[in-house]
């Protein structure tokens, strides 16, 4: 499905996440051997939220994992969870403390927020799904306050090494099989390895962030190099 482009791809991705919404969190935990929760804690720590009341945008929030983590680490913060898949947000609203999160339907390419509205913009597995990465980065830069942090958790293409065959087996065989068993949606979990394989390398995404205006850009690889956390400051 990664051959799709433009509005056609956006519609496919939205429909796919609607279909897998009920099992999305469980699949994430299984696919990452439970490491996704630790990565999200790192994302919020890297966002360097100010000690006073702050506003953080969890973009492409899904069920709001990063928004909830922000509340866990900074109870005084106001988290806005934005996504273009309503089914995902509905599950998040029904989670414990879901009423403490502000939920918002939003397109990552045209955010409905004022310039400089947020102290931090964070995302988890968003950027590989957008149809225009540079525009998504530009919008995140726009809505950040000066000095604010953008932090993104996403897949990345790993360097070839001795365990590369095992990584490919996990991505191309294990994940689609789990998806079929737990969600009945084989295509959705075929899309995941495909979109990861075709996504930018960590160094390329860092360069895109710099081109969007971010400074102090850096990243850290996780899970044998298939995951990366990127950050940059406005």
d(CA 38, CA 104): 25
Both tokens of 55, joined, read 């506003």
The answer to whether residues 89 and 60 touch, using CB atoms and an 8 Å cutoff, is: no
Give all strands of the β-sheet with 118-124 in edge-to-edge order.
Answer: 102-105, 78-83, 55-59, 118-124, 144-155, 227-233, 215-222
Among 83, 66, 176, which Cα is nearest to 129's?
Answer: 83
Q: Which fold has domain 6-17+35-160+200-233?
A: Rossmann fold (3.40.50)
pLDDT value of residue 208: 98
SS3 122: strand
Torsion of CA 112, 145, 65, 59, to 10 degrees: 30
CB atoms within 10 A of CB 146: 7
Q: Tens digit of pLDDT for each residue in 217-226?
A: 999 999 888 8
The answer to whether residues 61 and 85 touch, using CB atoms and an 8 Å cutoff, is: no
Q: Identify the helix (H) or strand (E) that includes residue 231.
A: strand 227-233
The answer to whether residues 150 and 140 touch, using CB atoms and an 8 Å cutoff, is: yes
pLDDT value of residue 5: 58
d(CA 170, CA 224): 12
Q: Where are the domains of the chain?
A: 6-17+35-160+200-233
Q: Tens digit of pLDDT for each residue in 59-83?
A: 999 999 999 999 999 999 999 999 9
Helix 86-93 to helix 6-20 angle (10° resolution) is 30
Q: What Rg value do the Cα atoms of the chain yield, rounded?
A: 17
Both tokens of 208, joined, read 């895109």
d(CA 103, CA 14): 17
pLDDT value of residue 2: 45
Among 89, 69, 105, which Cα is nearest to 22's?
Answer: 89
Average pLDDT of every residue of the chain: 87
The residue ranges of the chain whose pLDDT is under 50 are 1-2
Quick check: pTM over 0.75? yes
pLDDT value of residue 145: 98
pLDDT value of residue 205: 97
């Amino acid at each position: 499905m990664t051959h799709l482009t433009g509005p056609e791809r956006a519609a496919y991705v939205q429909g796919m996440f609607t279909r897998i919404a009920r099992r999305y969190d469980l699949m994430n935990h299984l696919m990452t051997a439970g490491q996704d929760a630790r990565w999200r804690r790192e994302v919020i720590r890297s966002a360097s939220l100010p000690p006073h009341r702050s506003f953080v945008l969890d973009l492409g929030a899904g069920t709001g994992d990063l928004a909830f983590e922000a509340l866990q680490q900074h109870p005084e913060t106001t988290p806005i969870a934005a996504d273009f898949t309503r089914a995902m947000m509905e599950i998040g609203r029904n989670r414990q403390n879901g009423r403490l999160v502000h939920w918002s339907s939003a397109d990552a390419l045209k955010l409905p927020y004022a310039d400089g509205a947020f102290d931090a913009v964070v995302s988890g597995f968003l950027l590989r799904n957008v149809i225009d990465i540079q525009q998504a980065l530009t919008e995140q830069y726009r809505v950040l306050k000066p000095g604010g942090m953008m932090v993104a958790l996403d897949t990345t293409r790993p360097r070839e090494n001795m365990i590369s065959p095992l990584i490919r087996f996990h991505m191309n065989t294990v994940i689609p099989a789990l998806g079929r068993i737990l969600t009945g949606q084989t295509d959705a979990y075929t899309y995941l390895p495909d979109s990861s394989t075709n996504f930018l390398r960590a160094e390329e995404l860092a360069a895109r962030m710099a081109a969007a205006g971010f400074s102090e850009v850096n990243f850290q690889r996780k899970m044998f190099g298939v995951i990366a956390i990127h950050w940059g400051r406005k």
